[in-house]
């Protein structure tokens, strides 16, 4: 079968392409924005990519068109599909029908940490010899690719609350029918499709309704929004994480790189690993609980955490030049920005941290998080905000309210000049964006290497 994927370079759709290819289908795809890591991953797998959404990409007609949720009516490829009566489906529906049927699905949902936690959980199962399938919205460094079918019934999926397609406005995750469900956290996001937090909570409750009574739901005990979700009705056993919960962590180092794990008041052992930050420890607890549900002992899973290498674009070290470290991070929500910078601050103490941030997500572009942005960068030494042309509001007030030195720049060249001026040996430069940031990562690395040759 020939499957053509519209929006193939999105993290979800690119992963879907790998699964379809592994199932033996011929896979092609189109996208308006082709950039790493998904573009390079797809090219390495021999999947043909085409720039833009020309109807000619669909000639001769494929057997099925899988349409990403970034596409809407008016898109020339979408209009061609509808006019020609070509068979089409949403990505989540295709995944449910062709991959997840008959599998033990372990789903990881939440506003923050889905990609990292799903990668962590897949690694815990892999290290235990369970050869899980998985689909993750990023490239886990322990595996090297963002999706695979796997060789056992277990399948780990990053479960997103975003809508499925222009013709299916349900959240993606309602298609997945997990037996093990992790709900990491829940805050307001996706302002382009959800009017308020209550609307997102309703979608999470729809997800809860799909988990069988023989399954397990895991969530942080102190998350008020998730408490409200569960209060709407739950028919599945629960396990909680965090303070006064079933699963608890006790930090043995301030940066979270060493901690104890406690289950039902009994110490299970210690974890020493490469990750830092309390948010990383919280991710570890829910992953340990989910792995235990499918038979991985806490001790075995804790040992595996020491070999967990996280995900590309999650505090991924790009280069170290003259003692200056440059990281690529996917943070694009005030809470994610704050927790990432807090983790770096605990690691480097009083060291210099320069945060370079692109407000790129749909919610950011709508200005819904504007009031929360200044406080989110409190742990940085200095912040450079990028004002892209398509941002409909000014970042000037964010800079005016900033608790640390901050400025707005409107070009990557100006950002690079500023970083070269500011950065001293020992500095941590953290680039935060959920997109390509106009090629800044590559440009900055090249500029640093040239500057310090």
Domain extent at residue 340: 316-451
How much is the pLDDT for 287? 98
Distance, in Å, from the CA atom of 408 to the CA atom of 384, rounded to the nearest integer, reads 6
How much is the pLDDT for 168? 96
The answer on 85 and 112 residing in a single domain is: no
Sign of CA dihedral 289, 291, 296, 298: negative
Distance, in Å, from the CA atom of 310 to the CA atom of 304, rounded to the nearest integer, reads 12
The answer on 430 and 291 residing in a single domain is: no
How much is the pLDDT for 368? 64
CATH number of the structural domain spanning residue 275: 3.40.1190.10
How much is the pLDDT for 135? 97
* For residues 195-223, average pLDDT: 96
Residue 384 domain flag: yes
> Number of C-alpha atoms within 13 angstroms, CB side, residue 220?
23
Query: pTM for this structure?
Result: 0.80
Sorting pLDDT into bands at 50, 70 and 90, what band is 112? confident
Selection from 30-44, 131-145, 312-326 with the highest mean pLDDT? 131-145
The answer on 133 and 80 residing in a single domain is: no
Does residue 83 or residue 51 have the better pLDDT? 83
CATH number of the structural domain spanning residue 352: 3.90.190.20
CB 239 within 8 A of CB 289: yes
Sign of CA dihedral 303, 306, 307, 309: positive
Number of domains forming the structure of the chain: 3
Distance, in Å, from the CA atom of 326 to the CA atom of 311, rounded to the nearest integer, reads 16
* 191, pLDDT greater than 70: yes
pLDDT of 410-440, one tens digit each? 899 999 999 999 999 999 999 998 877 888 9
CB 308 within 8 A of CB 137: no
Sorting pLDDT into bands at 50, 70 and 90, what band is 154? very high
Q: What's the mean pLDDT when you consider all of the chain?
A: 92
How much is the pLDDT for 248? 98
The answer on 220 and 259 residing in a single domain is: yes
- Burial tier of 420 (Cβ tally within 10 Å: 0-12, 13-18, 19+): middle
The answer on 109 and 253 residing in a single domain is: yes
The answer on 280 and 143 residing in a single domain is: yes
How much is the pLDDT for 372? 85
- Burial tier of 183 (Cβ tally within 10 Å: 0-12, 13-18, 19+): buried
Residue 96 domain flag: no
* 363, pLDDT greater than 70: no
Distance, in Å, from the CA atom of 170 to the CA atom of 352, rounded to the nearest integer, reads 44
- Give the residue from 232, 164, 216, 153 showing the smallest Cα distance to 193: 164
* DSSP conformational letter for 275: -
The answer on 323 and 284 residing in a single domain is: no
pLDDT of 314-361, one tens digit each? 788 888 998 999 999 887 778 889 988 988 898 889 999 999 999 876
Neighbours of 317 (CB within 10 A): 10
How much is the pLDDT for 178? 98
Could you tell me whether strands 2-6 and 26-31 are parallel, antiparallel, or unpaired per DSSP bridges?
Answer: parallel
What order do you get walking across the sheet with 2-6 strand by strand? 48-51, 26-31, 2-6, 64-67, 88-90
Task: Extract the tokens encoding 23.
Answer: 């199932």
Residue 218 domain flag: yes
Residue 446 domain flag: yes
Task: Extract the tokens encoding 218.
Answer: 């895991």
Last residue of a domain, one of 305, 335, 369: 305
Strand partners, 168: 165
Radius of gyration of the chain (CA): 22
Last residue of a domain, one of 91, 121, 145: 91
Strand partners, 355: 383, 430
* 364, pLDDT greater than 70: no
Task: Extract the tokens encoding 88.
Answer: 């089409």
Residue 311 domain flag: no
């Amino acid at each position: 079968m020939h499957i053509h994927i519209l929006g193939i370079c999105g993290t979800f759709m690119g992963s879907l392409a790998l699964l379809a290819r592994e199932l033996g289908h011929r896979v092609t795809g189109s996208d308006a924005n082709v950039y790493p890591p998904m573009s390079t991953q797809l090219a390495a797998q021999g999947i043909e990519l085409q720039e833009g959404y020309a109807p000619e990409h669909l000639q001769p007609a494929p057997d099925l068109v899988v349409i990403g949720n970034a596409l809407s009516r008016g898109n020339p490829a979408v209009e061609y599909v509808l006019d020609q009566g070509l068979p089409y489906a949403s990505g989540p529906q295709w995944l449910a029908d062709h991959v997840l049927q008959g599998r033990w699905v372990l789903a990881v949902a939440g506003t923050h940490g889905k990609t990292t936690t799903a990668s962590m959980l897949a690694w815990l199962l892999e290290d235990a010899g369970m050869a899980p399938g998985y689909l993750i919205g990023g490239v886990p460094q322990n595996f090297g690719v963002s999706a695979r079918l796997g060789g056992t019934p277990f399948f780990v999926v990053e479960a997103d609350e975003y809508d499925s397609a222009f013709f299916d406005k349900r959240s993606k995750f309602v298609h997945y029918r997990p037996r093990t469900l992790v709900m990491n956290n829940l805050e307001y996001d996706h302002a382009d499709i959800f009017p308020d937090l209550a609307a997102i909570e309703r979608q999470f409750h729809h997800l809860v309704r799909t988990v069988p009574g023989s399954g397990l739901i895991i969530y942080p005990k102190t998350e008020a929004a998730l408490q409200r979700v569960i209060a709407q009705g739950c028919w599945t056993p629960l396990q909680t994480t965090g303070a006064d919960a079933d699963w608890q962590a006790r930090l043995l180092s301030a940066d979270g790189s060493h901690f104890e794990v406690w289950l039902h008041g009994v110490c299970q052992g210690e974890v020493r690993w490469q990750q830092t930050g309390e948010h990383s420890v919280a991710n570890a607890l829910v992953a340990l609980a989910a792995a235990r549900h499918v038979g991985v002992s806490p001790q075995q899973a804790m040992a595996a955490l020491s070999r967990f290498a996280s995900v590309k674009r999650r505090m991924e070290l790009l280069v170290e030049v003259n003692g200056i470290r440059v990281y690529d991070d996917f943070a694009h929500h005030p809470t994610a920005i704050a927790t990432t910078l807090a983790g770096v601050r605990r690691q480097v103490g009083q060291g210099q941290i320069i945060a370079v941030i692109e407000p790129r997500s749909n919610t950011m572009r709508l200005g819904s998080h504007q009031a929360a942005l200044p406080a989110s960068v409190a742990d940085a030494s200095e912040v450079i905000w990028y004002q892209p042309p398509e941002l409909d509001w000014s970042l000037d007030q964010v800079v005016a309210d900033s608790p640390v030195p901050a400025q707005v720049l409107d070009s990557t060249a100006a950002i690079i000049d500023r970083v070269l001026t500011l950065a001293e040996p020992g500095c941590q430069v953290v680039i935060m964006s959920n997109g390509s940031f106009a090629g800044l990562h590559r440009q900055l690395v090249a500029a640093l290497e040239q500057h310090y040759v």
